[in-house]
Chain A
Amino acid sequence: ETGVTQSPTHLIKTRGQQVTLRCSSQSGHNTVSWYQQALGQGPQFIFQYYREEENGRGNFPPRFSGLQFPNYSSELNVNALELDDSALYLCASSLDGPGGQETQYFGPGTRLLVL
Chain B
Amino acid sequence: RKEVEQDPGPFNVPEGATVAFNCTYSNSASQSFFWYRQDCRKEPKLLMSVYSSGNEDGRFTAQLNRASQYISLLIRDSKLSDSATYLCVVTSPNDYKLSFGAGTTVTVRA
User: Which A positions have Cβ atoms within 8 angstroms of B?
Assistant: 2, 31, 33, 35, 40-45, 48, 50, 55-56, 58, 88, 90, 92, 96, 98-101, 103-109, 111
**A106 to B46 Cα, complex, angstroms:** 9
Asked if B99 lies at the interface with its beta carbon under 8 angstroms from chain A, I say: yes
8 nearest A-B pairs in the assembled complex, by CB-CB distance: A42-B100, A99-B94, A45-B97, A106-B43, A56-B96, A42-B102, A48-B96, A43-B100
Asked if B55 lies at the interface with its beta carbon under 8 angstroms from chain A, I say: no
Contact A56 B97 (CB under 8 A): yes
Which A residues are in CB contact (< 8 Å) with B102?
Answer: 40-42
* Closest chain B residue, CB of each to CB of A97: B96
Q: Name B's interface SS.
A: loop
Partner pick for B43 among A90, A96, A99, CB 8 A cutoff: A90
Asked if B4 lies at the interface with its beta carbon under 8 angstroms from chain A, I say: yes
On whether A42 and B96 interact (CB within 8 A), knowing A101-B31, A108-B43, the answer reads: no
**A113 to B23 Cα, complex, angstroms:** 30
Q: A2-B43, A90-B44 are in contact. List 4 more A-B contacts (CB 8 A).
A: A31-B96, A43-B100, A45-B97, A58-B97
**A103 to B47 Cα, complex, angstroms:** 11
Partner pick for B45 among A43, A50, A101, A106, CB 8 A cutoff: A106
Contact B43 A48 (CB under 8 A): no
